[in-house]
Amino acid sequence: MTCHFRAFFVALNRQFPGNTIVHRSLIISNLKSLLFKIIILTAMLLGLPLLGVTLAGHPLARYLEFPPQTLYVQPASFSWMAFWGYSFFILYFCLPLAITTLKSIKFRTPKVFPSGVFPWWGWLGVASGAGVWILAWSRFHWFSTFQPHTFTPLWISYILVVNALKYQRTGQCMIINTPGYFLLLFPLSAVFWWFFEYLNRFVQNWYYQSPDFSAAEYFWYATLSFSTVLPAVLGTRELILLTGWLQSGYKHHLIRHWPRPKLLALITLIFSTISLTGIGVWPNHLFALLWISPLLIIVSFQEMMNEPHVITSAARGDWHLVISSALAALICGFFWEMWNYYSYARWVYRIPFVHRFQVFEMPLLGYAGYLPFGLQCTVVGGMLERLSKSWQQKNALQTTAKT
């Protein structure tokens, strides 16, 4: 009986090509929805901080200086009260997850993967990464012209290695299985991080020590470096998702039933709007929201539009995507800070209230910012993945209609 029904619907599809039109309209609707969110998010991230400093009477020129050179935000001095306050807040959320992780590692069921061959391009990443690392931390006279530009090849090497490790274990990775998506991550990553550079103009938590570049040189060199962020974090996340402890410890962790989720999303959106508006007015007190507000805005829109988001699975008790995303950014953050420490072109931090106990250049509590940043990487990568799939489906339907 099932076969008869299936044959009937196949014949119906062939007889009435309007079904294709329905599918196409749904795909176009999804594309328009995604474009709408991108436009609204862009307008909020760019406009709200400027609106805040304009209302406060601050000169706009200093926030738009390019390349950014002038330091005009004076970070607040270290405060033990603020340090312990931030510490308690971070531990409140992270300590239970850390305990669950340790228990999961202890009692995990090891995953068995067929032994694969580490690909040649993975070895290329290992060799190039080791070589560039030595050059980045050395000061050879013959390499002086290229000394400020070691960041990008270091991270290209890292990206090759994490993809090769996944390929060795599963026979699959972004580079091999989804090369179009993988390549699109690089320009998207550059745009993605430029938004954080822009928001940093209002709090000045970090600045760069590098040779004097013209505006065009600064833009292109920085864009090249920023393009590696998403491929590195998402590649690391895919590798972490293979671990047995993650699946056993976070597949059925904490189930959260939020009452009136759309109202909560609206309140969160209003909170994020106010936060971004005030970030340049009170930079010493709102600086941490730089890493949280963009994520809250995207997730709020997705919830209000009945779309799945990075928190959806966690509310059902499946935390593996949240944990893997946050941990991936933290691992990448460690390598970012380590490789930055002795590099010629480097960044330096100016964090208010908690600038103490530095691990490399980053104050200890500053590493907590990588956790929500990892979720934002997953959200943006997921948007690109859905866009790519919708576009492929649209093209496939057009091809089918022609034939």
What percent of the chain is predicted at pLDDT more than 70?
83
Write out the DSSP string of 32-44: HHHHHHHHHHHHH
Q: What value does the CA radius of gyration of the chain take, rounded to a whole number of Å? A: 23
Which pLDDT score is estimated for 17? 46
Strands (E) in 161-233, as ranges, are 206-209
Tell me what pLDDT residue 16 has.
38
Annotated domain spans of the chain: 38-398
Q: Quote the pLDDT of residue 399.
A: 61
| Overall pTM surpassing 0.75 (yes/no) | yes
Q: What is the DSSP string of 331-399?
A: HHHHHHHHHHHT-SSEEEE--TTT--SEETTEEGGGGGGHHHHHHHHHHHHHHHHHHHHHHHHHHHHHH
Q: What pLDDT, on the 0 to 100 scale, is given for residue 18?
A: 47
130-171 pLDDT, tens digit each:
999 999 999 999 998 999 999 999 999 999 999 999 999 999
- pLDDT value of residue 390: 67
CB 237, CB 174: distance < 8 Å: no
What per-residue confidence (pLDDT) applies to 7?
A: 45
Name the residue among 310, 302, 186, 318 with its Cα closest to residue 250.
318
Q: List Cβ neighbours of 62 (8 Å cut-off, separation of 6 or more).
A: 70, 72
Q: Give the C-alpha separation, 351 to 286, whole Å.
A: 11
DSSP string, 248-264: HHHTT------SSHHHH
Q: Which residue ranges in the chain fall short of pLDDT 70?
A: 1-31, 106-115, 248-257, 390-403
Q: Given CA atoms 148, 149, 152, 157 in this order, what sign does their dihedral have?
A: negative
∠ at Cα 377 (371, 382), nearest 5°?
135
